[in-house]
């Protein structure tokens, strides 16, 4: 008796699977994906590309609790025909704009379809409702510039960034403003010297918001801090002074 496809369920399932794999190989997934981080390395190459420039706009210097902020996230790259994005926030609630979606916890947002670039820049608009507490907020963001060849490969160029935002109620001053204490060298490899105007308490955080251990040498008026065990990267120094917390950027190399 002739072999019948209708009577071979395993074969039909195998054929459908092959068709799905083939379709995926010629057309990339155009919707964003929620994940535990904000990298695009699962499909679009293993490493971030500095050719893609990202900007999260609309954030204040420090947020007011419960306030709604209208934000936009831009992805710029010379090869950018279209782009996707993903933003994860540590607290508060995100509100999806046109062409975007949020996860069940309202703390991560991504695109529903790539946004066409205008002048090599794609812009995504959404809202963020600040939490009703005075915690420091961490935004982790990624943007992926694509050349629209319908393939998820290394020709697409993604990048990511981290932004820390303090609350206005805890008196934190932006790191863009001047500070009244000195520290050197910067960049620093091993011993960080800190010259404070008084016995001011201070802390060091990484860009993930984690406080770093500080081993202080108090043998002189200038503090000596060993940061040799810190991973290379960017850190923020928080110093309490006159009821205000002043912030400065430190580079560990």
Q: What is the mean pLDDT of each run of 10 residues along the chain (253 residues)?
A: 47 47 43 65 68 90 87 92 91 94 93 92 95 84 82 75 74 45 86 75 73 71 84 81 68 89
Cα(223)–Cα(238) distance, integer angstroms: 15
Site of tokens 């066409």? 116
The residues, ordered by sequence, that sit 6+ positions from 207 with a Cβ below 8 Å of its Cβ are 138, 162, 164, 233, 234, 235, 236
Give CA–CA dist 208/137, Å, rounded. 10
Residue 118 tokens, joined = 């205008």
Rounded to two decimals, the pTM is 0.58
3-state secondary structure of 57: strand
Contact 183, 194 (CB under 8 A): yes
- Asked, as a colleague might, if the bond just before 187 is cis with ω within 30 of 0, I would say yes
The whole-angstrom separation of Cα 95 and Cα 218 is: 48
Cα Rg of the chain, angstroms: 24
Q: Is the peptide bond before 184 cis (omega within 30 degrees of 0)?
A: no
**Which CATH code, of 3.30.1330.60, 2.60.40.10, 3.40.50.150, 2.40.50.140, is assigned to 182-252?**
2.60.40.10
CATH of 30-169 among 3.40.50.300, 3.40.605.10, 2.60.40.10, 3.40.190.10: 2.60.40.10
Q: CA-based angle 162:90:176, to the nearest 5?
A: 45
Q: Exposed, middle or buried, 221 (CB in 10 Å: 0-12/13-18/19+)?
A: exposed
- Domain regions of the chain by residue span: 30-169, 182-252
């Amino acid at each position: 008796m002739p072999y019948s496809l209708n009577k071979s369920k395993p074969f039909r399932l195998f054929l459908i699977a092959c068709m799905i794999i083939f379709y995926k190989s010629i057309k990339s997934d155009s919707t964003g994906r929620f994940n535990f981080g904000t990298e695009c390395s699962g499909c679009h190459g293993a490493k971030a590309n500095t050719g893609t420039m990202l900007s999260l706009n609309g954030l204040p210097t420090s947020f007011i609790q419960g306030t709604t902020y209208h934000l936009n996230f831009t992805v710029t790259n010379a090869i950018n025909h279209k782009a996707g994005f993903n933003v994860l926030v540590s607290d508060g609630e995100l509100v999806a704009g046109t062409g975007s979606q949020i996860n069940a916890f309202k703390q991560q947002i991504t695109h529903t379809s790539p946004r066409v670039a205008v002048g090599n820049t794609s812009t995504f608009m959404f809202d963020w409702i600040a939490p009703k507490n005075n915690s420091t907020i961490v935004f982790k963001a990624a943007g992926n510039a694509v050349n629209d060849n319908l393939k998820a490969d290394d020709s697409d160029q993604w990048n990511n960034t981290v932004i820390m935002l303090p609350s206005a109620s805890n008196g934190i001053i932006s790191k863009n403003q001047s500070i009244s204490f000195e520290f050197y060298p910067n960049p620093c490899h091993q011993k960080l010297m800190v010259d404070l105007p008084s016995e001011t308490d201070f802390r060091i955080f990484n860009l993930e918001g984690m406080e770093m251990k500080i081993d202080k040498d108090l043998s002189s008026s200038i503090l000596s801090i060993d940061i040799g065990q810190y991973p290379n990267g960017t850190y923020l120094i928080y110093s309490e002074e006159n009821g205000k917390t002043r912030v400065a950027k430190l580079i560990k190399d």
